[in-house]
Amino acid sequence: MGCVYMGVHPGIGSRVAIKFLHPQFSHDEKIVDRFFNEARAVNVIGHDNILKILDLNVTEGHRHYFVMEFLHGRPLQALLRHNVSVPLDVAGPILLQVCDALEAAHKRGIVHRDLKPDNVYLITMKGKKNFVKVVDFGIARMTDDAGISTGKTQTGMVMGTPAYMSPEQGSGASNKIDGRSDIYSLGVMMFQLATGRLPFPGSNFGEVLIGHLQVPPPPPRSLNPLVPEAYEPLILKCLQKKQEDRYASMKELKHAIEACMDQLRISKELPHSDDTDTDTQLHPVEVRPPSFPGARTPGRATGPGSKNRISNPNARPGGARPATRPAPGATARISQPPTRLTPAPQPQQLGRAPLFAGIGVLAALALGVGGFVVLRRSDAPLASAPVRAQTEIVRQEETPVFLSVVSEPLDAQVVATWKDGEKRGAAPLSLEVPRNAKVHFEFRKSGFIDYAMDVIADQPQTVQAALKAVPRPPPPVAEEGSERRSQPEKRRKRDRAPKVPDGVVDVLGDLK
């Protein structure tokens, strides 16, 4: 949805990061609001362990942007290697800072919702390394003083990174997301740091989702016996499926980590930096005088094929673009056709009339050929633009869409049908369908009423169905008429009983 540039102040040489929203989204109010949501959220929190937003605005060309501090460091992801754990004396001080940052955010009613190692940046600060900066509050959920969400996330929309999202995020229950969802995501990071593995690996979103919703995480010590015994319960408590079973707040989790580190005699102080942790060695950047490439078309998007974190502002998009005139002094790519044709030498002199006629024919031929070549060359980019755009649309339509299906209660039998396709299974499950296909879902479970719904697969989403239990019939209640009918029967039984003389007790009759 956007691109990030590095900006250098031309006078003093200080660097900032400038995030731009792509121009094709500038007229979508929801996307613009979500783009600026990061700046608003960070400004409300104002914590040293959270990336600072310096400015936000809209250019004259209707480009939305905000300016951030430029971080010299590396993401926490750089410390992670498969099957290689990070010892608690390194991970502990980092986790405590993350707890501090998110505790401040939660007090302001802001839930990050995309906490992962890539969004925890480690920099050098005041001679200490591994100082934390939490970044990317772009999909943060903001609430007002009454705890009501001010965001526009629809129920059933999944937002976040699958490997680190909480069960309530994965099921699309956006109305249940609170600070304990970030605690779950941090628990996944704690598990990964301690074991070198994710608690719920999977080859696709559906497998990961089922792990978050149903599968208990393996004990970290079963994967890495070097995990301290006192530290393992902290990780598992963060990864509880029910929110009420996790830590109630980041502050409570921080105190638990501190107590564990004190018990293990692990220092909570950040390590000192050395020559290998200097800013220039982490991110060498050549500061050059600003270039002035001239006026550019406002609203040019960066090409989607670029893999660089810092985009080249002079790079042209790889898609279709209209033909432009060459800059002054530049060599034109299109060679001009010859303005005249040199006639072949004639063996004998012709009269004036045939000579004028021949010159006229040759001139007409030259102009015709030249004009055809110019039009052919100049129209080529314009003619190819619709073809490229049409190709991009066709590719987008051919891209399949992943749907995740969840039922409440779990294990409901699901039948999903669409044109030329069908899938059956027990929820939760995932399926891949053609983009923009209409998918019909049927849910069945013993003891519950059948449920059906239709979904348009225009984007990846979670399909959630809440089944209602079959109402049980009420217990039979004796009617007033039946009570009256039973009274004569009791009288007839008394009348049939044998008469007993006064003062004599019929013991056998009473026993009967």
Beta strand pairing call for 401-408 and 461-466 = parallel
Two tokens at 352? 């004036």
User: How far are the Cα atoms of 204, 394, 442, 457, 478 from residue 400, in angstroms, in the given order?
Assistant: 13, 12, 21, 9, 61
CA dist 153 and 157 (Å) reads 7
Helices (H), 46-174: 88-107, 167-170
Q: How many CB atoms lie within 10 A of CB 305?
A: 8
Catalytic residue among 114, 136, 178, 277: 114
In degrees and rounded to multiples of 5, residue 381 shows phi and psi of: -65, -40
Q: Which residues of 153-173 are buried (b: 16+ CB within 10 A; e: fewer)?
A: beebebbbbbbbbbbbbbbbb
User: H helices then E strands: how many in the chain?
Assistant: 12, 16
Two tokens at 415? 């039948």
Chain Cα centroid distance, residue 48:
25
Beta-carbon-side half-sphere exposure of residue 254 (alpha carbons within 13 Å): 16
CA dist 358 and 346 (Å) reads 12
- Contacts of 375-383 with CB under 8 Å at 24 or more apart are 377/334, 378/323, 378/334, 381/321, 381/322, 381/323, 382/322, 382/323
> Is 114 a residue of the active site?
yes
- Contacts of 323-329 with CB under 8 Å at 24 or more apart are 323/378, 323/381, 323/382, 327/294
User: How far are the Cα atoms of 44, 101, 104, 148, 179 from residue 107, in angstroms, in the given order?
Assistant: 10, 10, 5, 14, 9
| Alpha-carbon dihedral 340, 342, 343, 345, rounded to 10 degrees | 160
Which is nearest to 25 in space by CA: 67, 82, 64, 71? 64
Residues 182/250, Cβ–Cβ less than 8 Å: yes
Q: Catalytic amino acids?
A: 114
